C-alpha cells in the first residue's frame, strides 16, 4: 500500500521552518548536555551484486544527515556507527563522551531489519535507569513502523518511538522533549511524560506504543504523514556528518573519538550527495512518488557546488553518487545544475576536472536532453544509472524501447558518460526468446552491444510502500518458506526469488545467475580490449573486474536457495505482514501507516495513560 497523500497544499513545510527549528534548538542545547549514538543497521548477508563495493565504501547519506542535524542544532556529542564497518557493535557497550548515550537512534532498510531488531533488543537490556531513549528510523520505520515494537508480553523489547519521516520530524520531537525536560531527568523518562500527556500527537511522522502498567504495548499511535522539506538548501551541510563517523572495528564498544578527517577518503571514497528528490513516473512497484507526495524537491546549484567543493577540500572525496530518484526529472533545473557545475572552480582549476559524479535517470528523460548531454558531461557527470527495467516496455513502460535505449546509450558513450542499466526480471519473461528481444539473455546481449558499462538484474520483489505490495501476498505470489527455510528480510533485496507464480521458480533464480555471467566474464574483457577506439576501456574493464567478483559472491549466496526452490516444498503466504498490534491515529481514526489487515482500535477510543517500566 502506498503512503496516503496529505491535504493538497499541506504537503510541504513553509520556507524557513527547518532553519527556524534548528535555531530554537541551539538555544536549548546549552542547558541539555546530550550524547547521541546513531547506528546504521547492516546485514552482511546482503553483500552481493549490484552493491558489493559501494555498500562498504560509501557512508550512507541518511545517518550522516541526522548526525549533521544534531551537531547543527548544538549537540556536538554525537557519534555515527556504521554496522558495515563495525559488525559487532552493541548499544549496551556504547559510550559517547564516557557515558551511556542519552539518545540511541537506529536506522535501517527493510533488508537489514534483522540486525535492526538485534540492536534494539540489546539496547533494551540496559538497566532502565540508564537506558537511552530508543528511536527507530530509516526506510524500515517509514513503511513498517510497527515492526520495531514487540507485541509479546513476555518479551518486552522495542523502540520507544519510530520516526516515519525526515530530519524535521526528529528535531520537532527533540524540541518538545527538551522544552519540558526536568533537571537530571533521562530523555526516556521525559519522552514517557510527553507521550502520556499527548504532547507528541501534533508532530506528524511519529509512531509510538501505548502501554499498560506493566510496560506491555497495547496499541500504536500514528501521528500521520510527515510534512516534507521543500527547499533542500535548508538541510545541514553534509560535511558535518563525516566528522562523526566511528572508526572501523570488530569491538562491541566505541572508540574514544571518531575517525580522523584524513581517513575519510580511504574509508568512504564515494560520497553520497543529495541533489533532488522525486520522480514524475508512477511505477506500481516503486514507493518513491507517494513518499514524496508527488513532489519534486531540489537543492540550488550553488548549494550543490558548495557541498562538492567542501567535501573535496576537507576530505579529498573525488567520487560522488547522487541519491536522486530521477536527476533528469526537471529538465530546466537539471541544466541549471550542470551548467553551474561546469563553471565552478576549486583551487583555481575547474571543479569538473577534480571530481566524478554519477546518479540515476531514465531513458525517456535522457533522450529529451539529447542536445545537452555534452553539457551534462562537462558538468562532471561521468556515469548514469538508467532504470531500463524491461527493454520492450512489456512489464513497465517508462517510454523505453530497444531503439530508444540503444540511442540513449550511444549518446552517453559518445560524450564519455558510462551507461549503467538497471533491469528487472519477472514471471512472464523467459531466459531466451528466438527472434524477439523479450528474453532476459536477449536483452542483456542488446545492452552489451549498446555499450553498457555495468549491469543490474534483480527479480521483481514486493517493495514496502508500493502499489503492488499487498497484492503479492493476497494473490499468493510471496513465498513464506522453501524446504523448511523461511524467507528472511535480507532476502528481499531482489537477488532472491521470493515472490513468483511460475511453476518452476528455481529457473528464475538460475536466470539471474546466467544473465550476470553472460555480461561479466573473461571473454568479454578480451572483447573490450580488442574493441577499436574504445575511449572508455579503462572504466569498462574495471567494472568487469568488479562485476566478476560480485558474480561469484552472488552465486555463492543464492545457489543454495536455487537448489531449495528446485527440490524443497514451497509454502506461500496469503496474508500481508501487517502489525499485530492495533493501530490508530492520535484522534482515534485509522492509522496512516497501517496496512489493510491491521487490527483497528474502536473509533474514539483513547487508551489510558500509564507508566512504563
| Block residue for cell numbers 547521541 | 36
* DSSP notation for 148-168: GB---TT---B-SEEE-S-HH
CA-CA distances (angstroms) from residue 266 to 38, 177, 454? 22, 38, 24
Cβ atoms of 373 and 348 closer than 8 Å: no
**What contacts 601, CB < 8 A, 6 or more positions away?**
219, 582, 583, 584, 588, 607
pLDDT > 80? residue 174: yes
Measured distance CA(464)–CA(485) in Å, rounded: 22
CA-CA distances (angstroms) from residue 113 to 34, 94, 138, 379? 27, 20, 10, 38
Cβ atoms of 258 and 37 closer than 8 Å: no
Cβ atoms of 3 and 204 closer than 8 Å: no
Measured distance CA(65)–CA(94) in Å, rounded: 21
Take residue 560 and report the three cell numbers written for it.
Answer: 543454495
pLDDT band of 17, cuts 50, 70, 90: very high
pLDDT > 90? residue 396: no
Please report which helix (H) or strand (E) contains residue 295, including its range.
none
Q: Among residues 414, 412, 388, 413, which one has the least CA distance to residue 401?
A: 388
CA-CA distances (angstroms) from residue 602 to 2, 213, 219, 606, 608? 24, 21, 11, 9, 14
pLDDT > 80? residue 605: no
Take residue 17 and report the three cell numbers written for it.
Answer: 521552518
Output the pLDDT for position 602.
Answer: 63
CA 319, distance to chain mean position in Å, is: 19
pLDDT > 80? residue 68: yes
The 10 Å Cβ neighbour count of residue 548 is 17
Output the pLDDT for position 358.
Answer: 97
pLDDT > 80? residue 41: yes
Cβ atoms of 600 and 582 closer than 8 Å: yes
Output the pLDDT for position 283.
Answer: 87
Output the pLDDT for position 609.
Answer: 40
Region 506-517: mean pLDDT is 97
Q: What percent of the chain lies above the pLDDT cut of 70?
A: 98
The mean-pLDDT minimum among 205-219, 250-264, 308-322, 584-598 falls in 205-219
Output the pLDDT for position 183.
Answer: 92
pLDDT band of 533, cuts 50, 70, 90: confident
* Residue/partner pairs of 558-563 with CB below 8 Å, 24 or more apart: 558/48, 558/495, 558/496, 558/509, 558/512, 558/513, 559/513, 561/482, 561/485, 561/491, 561/496, 561/497, 561/509, 562/497, 562/506, 562/509, 562/510, 562/513, 563/506
pLDDT band of 607, cuts 50, 70, 90: very low
Output the pLDDT for position 360.
Answer: 96
102-133 pLDDT, tens per residue? 999 999 999 999 999 999 999 999 999 899 99
pLDDT band of 284, cuts 50, 70, 90: confident
314-332 pLDDT, tens per residue? 999 999 999 999 999 999 9
Output the pLDDT for position 613.
Answer: 36
* DSSP notation for 503-570: S-HHHHHHHHHHHHHHHSSHHHHHHHHHSTT-TTHHHHHHHHHHHHHHHHHHHHHHHHHHHHHHHSPE
Output the pLDDT for position 610.
Answer: 37
Amino acid at each position: 500500500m502506498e503512503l496516503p497523500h496529505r491535504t493538497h497544499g499541506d504537503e510541504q513545510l513553509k520556507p524557513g521552518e527547518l532553519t527556524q527549528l534548528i535555531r530554537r534548538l541551539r538555544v536549548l542545547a546549552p542547558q541539555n548536555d546530550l550524547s547521541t549514538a546513531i547506528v546504521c543497521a547492516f546485514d552482511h548477508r546482503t553483500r552481493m551484486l549490484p552493491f558489493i563495493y559501494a555498500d562498504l565504501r560509501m557512508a550512507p547519506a541518511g545517518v550522516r544527515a541526522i548526525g549533521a542535524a544534531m551537531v547543527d542544532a548544538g549537540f556536538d556529542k554525537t557519534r555515527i556507527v556504521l554496522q558495515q564497518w563495525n559488525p559487532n557493535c552493541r548499544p549496551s557497550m556504547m559510550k559517547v563522551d564516557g557515558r551511556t548515550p542519552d539518545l540511541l537512534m537506529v536506522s535501517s532498510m527493510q533488508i537489514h531489519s534483522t540486525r535492526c531488531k538485534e540492536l534494539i533488543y540489546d539496547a533494551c537490556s540496559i538497566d532502565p535507569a540508564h537506558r537511552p531513549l530508543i528511536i527507530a528510523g530509516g526506510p524500515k520505520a517509514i513503511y513498517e513502523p510497527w515492526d520495531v515494537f514487540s507485541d509479546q508480553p513476555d518479551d518486552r523489547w522495542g523502540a520507544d518511538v519510530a520516526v516515519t519521516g525526515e530530519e524535521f520530524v526528529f528535531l520537532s520531537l527533540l524540541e518538545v522533549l527538551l522544552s519540558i525536560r526536568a533537571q537530571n531527568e533521562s530523555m526516556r523518562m521525559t519522552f514517557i511524560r510527553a507521550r502520556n500527556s499527548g504532547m507528541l500527537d501534533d508532530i506528524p511522522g511519529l509512531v509510538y506504543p501505548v502501554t499498560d502498567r506493566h510496560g506491555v504495548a497495547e496499541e500504536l499511535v500514528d501521528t500521520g504523514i510527515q510534512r516534507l522539506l521543500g527547499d533542500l538548501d535548508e538541510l545541514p551541510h553534509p560535511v558535518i556528518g563525516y566528522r562523526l563517523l566511528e572508526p572501523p572495528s570488530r569491538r562491541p564498544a566505541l572508540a574514544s573519538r571518531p575517525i580522523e578527517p584524513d581517513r575519510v577518503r580511504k574509508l568512504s571514497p564515494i560520497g553520497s550527495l543529495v541533489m533532488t528528490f522525486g520522480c514524475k513516473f508512477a511505477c506500481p512497484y516503486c514507493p518513491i512518488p507517494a513518499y514524496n507526495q508527488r513532489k519534486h524537491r531540489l537543492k540550488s546549484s550553488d548549494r550543490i557546488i558548495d557541498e562538492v567543493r567542501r567535501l573535496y577540500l576537507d576530505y579529498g572525496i573525488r567520487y560522488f553518487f547522487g541519491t536522486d530518484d530521477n536527476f533528469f526529472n526537471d529538465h530546466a533545473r537539471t541544466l541549471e545544475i550542470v551548467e553551474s557545475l561546469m563553471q565552478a572552480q576549486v583551487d583555481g582549476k575547474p571543479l569538473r576536472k577534480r571530481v566524478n559524479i554519477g546518479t540515476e535517470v531514465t531513458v525517456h528523460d535522457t533522450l529529451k536532453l539529447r542536445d545537452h548531454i555534452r553539457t551534462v558531461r562537462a558538468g562532471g557527470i561521468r556515469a548514469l544509472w538508467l532504470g531500463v527495467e524491461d527493454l520492450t516496455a512489456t512489464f513497465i513502460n517508462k517510454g523505453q524501447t530497444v531503439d530508444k535505449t540503444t540511442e540513449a546509450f550511444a549518446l552517453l558513450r559518445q560524450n564519455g558518460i558510462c551507461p549503467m542499466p538497471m533491469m528487472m526480471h519477472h514471471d512472464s519473461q523467459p531466459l531466451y526468446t528466438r527472434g524477439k528481444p523479450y528474453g532476459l539473455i536477449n536483452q542483456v546481449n542488446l545492452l552489451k552491444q549498446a555499450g553498457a558499462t555495468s549491469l543490474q538484474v534483480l527479480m521483481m520483489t514486493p517493495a514496502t510502500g508500493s502499489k503492488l505490495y499487498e497484492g503479492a501476498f493476497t494473490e499468493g505470489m510471496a513465498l513464506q518458506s522453501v524446504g523448511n527455510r523461511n524467507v528472511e528480510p535480507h532476502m528481499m533485496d531482489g537477488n532472491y526469488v521470493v515472490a513468483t507464480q511460475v511453476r518452476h521458480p528455481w529457473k528464475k533464480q538460475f536466470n539471474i545467475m546466467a544473465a550476470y555471467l553472460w555480461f561479466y566474464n573473461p571473454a568479454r574483457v578480451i572483447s573490450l580490449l580488442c574493441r577499436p577506439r574504445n575511449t572508455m576501456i579503462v572504466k569498462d574493464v574495471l567494472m568487469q573486474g568488479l562485476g566478476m567478483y560480485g558474480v561469484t559472491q552472488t552465486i555463492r549466496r543464492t545457489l543454495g536457495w536455487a537448489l531449495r526452490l528446485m527440490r524443497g516444498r514451497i509454502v506461500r503466504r496469503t496474508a500481508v505482514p501487517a502489525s499485530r498490534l492495533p493501530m490508530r491515529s492520535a484522534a482515534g481514526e485509522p492509522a496512516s501507516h497501517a496496512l489493510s489487515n491491521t487490527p483497528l482500535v474502536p473509533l474514539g477510543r483513547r487508551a489510558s495513560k500509564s507508566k512504563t517500566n
